Amino acid sequence: MNHEGRALRRIVLALVLGGVVLPILAGSLQTLRAAFGVHEALRGGGYSLAAWEKLASLPGFATSLRLTLVSGVGSSVVALVLAVGLCALVHGRMDEARSNRLLTPILAVPHAALAIGLAFLIAPAGWLARLLATLMGWQSPPLIASVNDSWGAALTGGLVVKELPFLLLVMVAALGQVPVAKHLAAGQALGYGRGAIWLKLIMPQVWPLIRLPVLVVQAYALSSVDMAIILGPSNPPTLAVAVTRWLSDPDLSMIYPASAGALLVAAIVVLGSLGWLAAERLAASLGLLWLTRGQRGGRAAAGLLRFAGGTAMAALIVGLMSLVVLVLWSFAFRWSFPAPLPASWTLQSWAAPQMGWGRAAVYSLGLGVAVTALSVALAVAWLEAEDRGGMGRAGWAQGLIYLPLLLPQIAFLYGLNLLFLRLGLSGGLVAVIWAQGLFVFPYVMIALSEPWRALDPRLIRSAASLGAGPNRRLFRIKLPALLGPVLTAAAIGFAVSIAQYLPTLFMGAGRIATLTTEAVTLSSGSDRRVIGTYAVLQAALPFAAYGLALVVPRLLYRNRRALRGGY
């Protein structure tokens, strides 16, 4: 059994290395070479720093760098503080299952769809201004740059609204491994306030469990392209958006500074992660000093947590309102300012799928199903190989899983596209499926690994004692028992696939138009009704996947209970 399991694990490891790790490393190497003046197709003059010099001299480079740092680091810190505050505020009043149901709507929505909804909400003529118009006496939209502002405030806020539910779910899961109630009771018995207990006792135990997800959130925020195009300033944009534009520039020499910019984004992500680790050590030293002083008040800490918790609830409400306004615009016919609701409704945007959204929806659905099926199969094979080989979780394996999430997409996707061009794969479905799988597989693996390892081993031992072989135990015991987690992991993978923008844009070479690529393109100046239709569809597909993940196990389990009741 161990020999068979190790052989299976070697096969799975070879697939992961060849299909995920090596493409990322090869793409990164291509970007690295171009950043220092080496590009086979352009026949550069050898290694040099000319690309970096040109990057630094490009108009708006310093502003793009500032916007990247402010929006990326700022949104990560704010989202974490708000998540801590809300968890401290509602912990003990809401279980994990209920919190999952409440957060799923925002969590399931792709980044681009939420960004479009937020733009519809906070724009000068947006829904929020329309709702406030009567109270404020506005007859025309206020002259406020609330979207695409030069400081990136809208982008920072959008990143916070999108990433907050993810951090909340991660924290809720982590809090389940910490005896919070006992800490609260013991601390209050010693005269400590609730805020001091959370900051002194609970968060030091929770932080190691959420460190990697926080780093993943910051990596995305620093390298976001789709949300930055929709909510961020356009001239100059954030560095990741600028690099994307330079890579598409007709002047092929721009590939060199673009590659240098992509490498700079990766370096910023690495430095940002090191900054979190340094802040962790500093907080540990200051926290130890705070503990030794023995102060039991903590009114300031309690007030800060209450303020953060209230702000987090407001951010979640803003996220839900962004989804509602998407639906309103997709059915609106006439909606003049300052009316709070459309004056008339229409199905015109929905009645002509042949005009564009039908084809995009088919591509999105097909790609999502294909990528998710492959990712789930690979994740199941990985976990089953661990079981058959009698091997536990390895640290290096965790690193392989998180590598695509911690490395910016812009840092290796262009280089990977060059490799695909040489292989004759670029511009086709295979290339897009492969590229999306680099990011879908890690999320599927993360979502499925804990439920899989928590399965009661007595079920497997009982089946083995009755003569069931490894394959029969997998298909007759494990997968039926883990149907809910498997479908949930598949729904998460499907949602991640729908949200992919850069992999589809680069690897599809503009030939494969999905709901995400079309929505981002249209967001720059199309009819709000059309944009709303694409964004609603983009959000509806992940919702449907999550719905199936919830409904299918209940239907099957209900039938089994009825069968047992008949006996």
- Answer yes or no: is 292 within a domain: yes
| pLDDT exceeds 60 at position 299 | yes
For range 46-73, the mean pLDDT? 91
Q: Does the model's pTM come out above 0.75?
A: yes
Question: Which is higher by pLDDT, 290 or 436?
Answer: 436
Lowest mean pLDDT across 343-352, 429-438, 515-524: 343-352
For residues 450 and 96, the answer to whether their CB atoms sit within 8 Å is no
pLDDT at 563: 40
Q: What is the pLDDT of residue 19?
A: 87
In a domain, 428, yes or no: no
CA dihedral 110, 111, 114, 119 (to 10 degrees): -150
pLDDT for residue 92: 63
Note whether residue 381 is domain-resident.
no
pLDDT: which is higher, 560 or 29? 29
Q: For the chain, give the percent of residues with pLDDT over 70.
A: 92
- Residue 566 lies inside a defined structural domain of this protein: no
Q: CA 197, CA 297: separation in Å to the nearest integer?
A: 10
Residue 117's contacts (CB-CB under 8 Å, 6 or more residues apart) are 109, 321, 322, 323, 324, 325, 326, 535
**pLDDT bucket at 275, cuts 50 / 70 / 90:** very high
Does residue 102 belong to any structural domain of this protein? yes
pLDDT at residue number 394: 64
Mean pLDDT (whole number) for 336-349: 88
Give the pLDDT confidence of 116-173 residue by residue, as tens digits. Answer: 999 999 999 889 999 998 888 888 888 888 898 989 999 999 999 999 999 998 888 8
In this prediction, residue 355 has a pLDDT band, given cuts at 50, 70 and 90, of: low
Cβ within 8 Å of residue 516, ≥6 positions away:
110, 112, 226, 364, 498, 499, 500, 501, 504, 538
Residue 329 inside a domain? The answer is yes
Task: Tell me the percentage of the chain whose pLDDT exceeds 90.
Answer: 43
| Residue 152 CB burial class (10 angstroms; 0-12, 13-18, ≥19) | buried
pLDDT in tens, 34-52: 899 887 766 666 788 888 9
Q: Please list the alpha-helical segments (H only) found in 294-394.
A: 299-331, 357-389
Q: Is the pLDDT of residue 564 over 60?
A: no
Q: How far is CA 512 from CA 248, 305, 376, 518, in A?
A: 16, 46, 24, 10
Query: Residue 163 maps to which CATH number?
Result: 1.10.3720.10
**Residue 194 is assigned to a structural domain of this protein:** yes
**Cβ-based burial of 413 (10 A; exposed 0-12, middle 13-18, buried ≥19):** buried
> Structural domain of residue 107, as residue ranges?
49-345
Once rounded to an integer, what is the mean pLDDT over residues 483-492?
91
At 567 the pLDDT is: 36
> Which tens digit of pLDDT belongs to each residue from 244-258?
999 888 888 899 999
pLDDT, tens digit, 9 for 90 and up, residues 176-230: 888 888 888 888 777 777 777 888 888 889 999 999 999 999 999 999 999 999 9
Name which of 536, 537, 501 is nearest 521 in CA terms. 501
> Which band of pLDDT confidence, cut at 50, 70 and 90, is reported for residue 387?
confident
How many whole angstroms separate alpha carbon 87 and alpha carbon 75?
A: 18
Task: Determine which of 275-279, 382-386, 424-428 has the lowest per-residue pLDDT on average.
Answer: 424-428
How far apart are alpha carbons 176 and 96 in whole angstroms?
Answer: 8
State the helix-helix crossing angle for 255-293 and 22-35, rounded to 10 degrees.
Answer: 110
Is residue 536 a part of any domain in this protein?
Answer: no
**CA distance linking residue 437 with residue 23, whole number of Å:** 11
286 has pLDDT over 70:
yes
What is the average per-residue pLDDT within 284-300? 71
The rounded mean pLDDT for the chain is 86
pLDDT score recorded for residue 118: 95
Predicted confidence at residue 43, as pLDDT, reads: 66
Task: State how many domains the chain has.
Answer: 1
